């Protein structure tokens, strides 16, 4: 294992994980855990920035997301899974970092600007939401993370985290915090079942890792294809056709997918046949995940024990980091 490279990744526990999470990060985490020192954060405090009025939703989904992690093959002996709110050093470090950024800089962050617009906050942006990039910087640096798997939309967050790291090291004349490198996802964002740009629970257009076989059938059969492909004999379009997008992402038989595309484009291949192929591919992928999830779900106390042990381990590492941070800032009053 490459101990010099520390990966910090994670998810907001606001609902079960879906295929977009799987193709974008979960599958990679399973591979990366054999090579790097990996921390996976259940970011419940961040989830509360826009779910502050529904904390029970966040609490319930801690277990749901953990079950998804274990079901896809994340091994707690190789990866450390931890709960954000149970690591007080993160909050302490975030408070320190808030002195190193300005409100105007936070408002200029492209990712934050986009999400504020999407949520319709206008000028009524909760302070906790506005500062979440600072909190994420603390998440990463409290374990001295050096690599963060990220999509294009997360790059401004990492850029701001590195600005904070540089400011801290410069102002306090130290080299306590390492800079962070983005590990770009090889797969672009998976669209929703309805053809919209983003798959999400809130939009009702997601296919979840925990969905049973019959629900996968129902959801795939409702997928957006080519609205002009009315009859099987009609030539069909591939671009924007969600079924083919999913086949490109999940079907290992690339030759068959290529043949189906050619047939579809020249006409003579109906949507139902293409969708049945995708149903077969997805259920083959999800069946072992469902089986492992079902086994873990029988013993939720053991799953929570895994999270508590991972959190305790992370707290010890985080406290070591904070000792260095406090010393650099002359806040180590006991020495």
Whether the CB-CB separation of 76 and 306 falls below 8 Å is answered with: yes
The residues, any chain, with a CB within 8 Å of residue 65's CB and separated by 6 or more, are 11, 13, 16, 17, 42
**Given pLDDT bands bounded at 50, 70 and 90, which one contains residue 174?**
very high
- Taking the C-alpha atoms of residue 294 and residue 184, their distance in angstroms, rounded to an integer, is 32
Q: What is the pLDDT of residue 188?
A: 62
Q: What is the pLDDT of residue 150?
A: 82
Instruction: Give the count of alpha carbons within 13 A of 99, CB side only.
Output: 8
Q: What is the pLDDT of residue 116?
A: 86
In our burial notation (b when 16+ CB lie closer than 10 A, e otherwise), range 219-250 reads bbeebbbbeebeeeeeebebeebbbbbbbebb
Q: How far is CA 99 from the centre of its chain?
A: 28
Residue 43 CB coordination number (10 Å): 23
Question: Does the CA dihedral 181-34-190-134 come out positive or negative?
Answer: negative
pTM of the entire structure?
0.91
3-state secondary structure string, the chain? CEEEEEEEEEECCCCCCEHHHHHHHHHHHHHHCCCEEEEEEECHHHHCCCCCCCHHHHHHHHHHHHHHHHHHCCCCCCEEEEEHHHCHHHHHHHHHHHCCCCHHHHHHCHHHHHHHHHHCCCCCCCHHHHCHHHHHHHHHHCCCCCEEEECHHHHHHHHHHHHHHHHHHHHCCCCCCCCCEEEECCCCCCCCCCCCCCCCCCCCCCCECCCCHHHHHHHHHCCCCCCCCCCCCCCCCCCCCHHHHHHHHHCCCHHHHHHHHHHHHHCCCCHHHHHHHHHHHHHHHHHHHHHHHHHHHCCHHHHHHHHHHHHHHHHHHHHHHHHHHHHHCCCCCCC
* 30-34, 41-45, 176-180, 304-308: segment of lowest average pLDDT: 30-34
Q: What is the pLDDT of residues 182-206, one digit of tens each?
A: 988 766 678 899 987 778 777 789 9
Report residue 145: phi and psi, to 5°: -65, 140
- Taking the C-alpha atoms of residue 32 and residue 257, their distance in angstroms, rounded to an integer, is 28
Average pLDDT over residues 219-244: 94
Is pLDDT above 60 for 136? yes
* 106-120, 126-140, 191-205: segment of lowest average pLDDT: 191-205
Percentage, residues of the chain above pLDDT 90: 78
Q: What is the pLDDT of residues 245-263, one digit of tens each?
A: 999 999 999 999 999 999 9
Is pLDDT above 60 for 178? yes
Whether the CB-CB separation of 106 and 284 falls below 8 Å is answered with: no
Average pLDDT over residues 117-135: 89
**Given pLDDT bands bounded at 50, 70 and 90, which one contains residue 228?**
very high
Whether the CB-CB separation of 197 and 189 falls below 8 Å is answered with: yes
Q: What is the pLDDT of residues 30-59, one digit of tens each?
A: 999 999 999 999 999 999 988 999 999 999
**Given pLDDT bands bounded at 50, 70 and 90, which one contains residue 3?**
low
Which domains, ranges and CATH numbers included, belong to the chain? 2-191+300-328 (3.40.50.620), 213-294 (1.10.240.10)
Is pLDDT above 90 for 152? no
Q: What is the pLDDT of residues 58-76, one digit of tens each?
A: 999 999 999 999 999 999 9
């Amino acid at each position: 294992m490459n101990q010099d490279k520390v990966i910090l990744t994670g998810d907001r526990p606001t609902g079960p994980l879906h295929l977009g999470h799987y193709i974008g990060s979960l599958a990679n985490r399973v591979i990366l855990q054999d090579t790097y020192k990996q921390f996976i954060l259940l970011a419940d405090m961040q989830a509360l920035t826009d779910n502050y009025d529904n904390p029970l939703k966040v609490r319930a989904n801690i277990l749901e997301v953990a079950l998804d992690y274990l079901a896809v093959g994340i091994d707690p002996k190789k990866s450390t899974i931890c709960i954000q709110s149970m690591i007080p050093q993160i909050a302490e470090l975030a408070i320190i970092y808030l002195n190193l950024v300005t409100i105007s800089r936070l408002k200029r962050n492209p990712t934050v600007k986009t999400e504020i617009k999407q949520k319709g906050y206008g000028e009524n942006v909760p302070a906790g939401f506005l500062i979440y990039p600072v909190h994420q910087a603390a998440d990463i640096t409290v374990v001295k993370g050096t690599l963060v798997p990220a999509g294009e939309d997360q790059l401004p967050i990492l850029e701001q985290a590195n600005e904070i790291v540089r400011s801290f090291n410069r102002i306090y004349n130290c080299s306590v915090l390492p800079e962070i490198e983005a590990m770009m996802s090889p797969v672009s964002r998976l669209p929703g079942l309805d053809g919209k740009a983003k798959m999400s629970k809130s939009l009702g257009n997601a296919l979840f890792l925990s969905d049973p076989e019959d629900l996968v059938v129902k959801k795939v059969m409702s997928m957006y294809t080519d609205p002009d492909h009315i009859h099987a004999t009609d030539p069909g379009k591939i671009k924007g056709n969600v079924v083919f997008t999913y086949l490109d992402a999940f079907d290992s038989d690339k030759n068959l997918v290529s043949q189906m595309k050619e047939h579809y484009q020249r006409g003579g291949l109906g949507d139902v046949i293409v969708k049945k192929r995708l149903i077969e591919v997805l259920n083959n992928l999800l069946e072992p995940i469902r089986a492992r999830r079902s086994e873990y779900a029988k013993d939720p106390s053991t799953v929570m024990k895994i999270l508590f042990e991972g959190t305790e381990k992370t707290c010890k590492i985080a406290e070591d980091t904070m000792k260095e941070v406090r010393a650099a800032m002359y806040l180590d009053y006991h020495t």
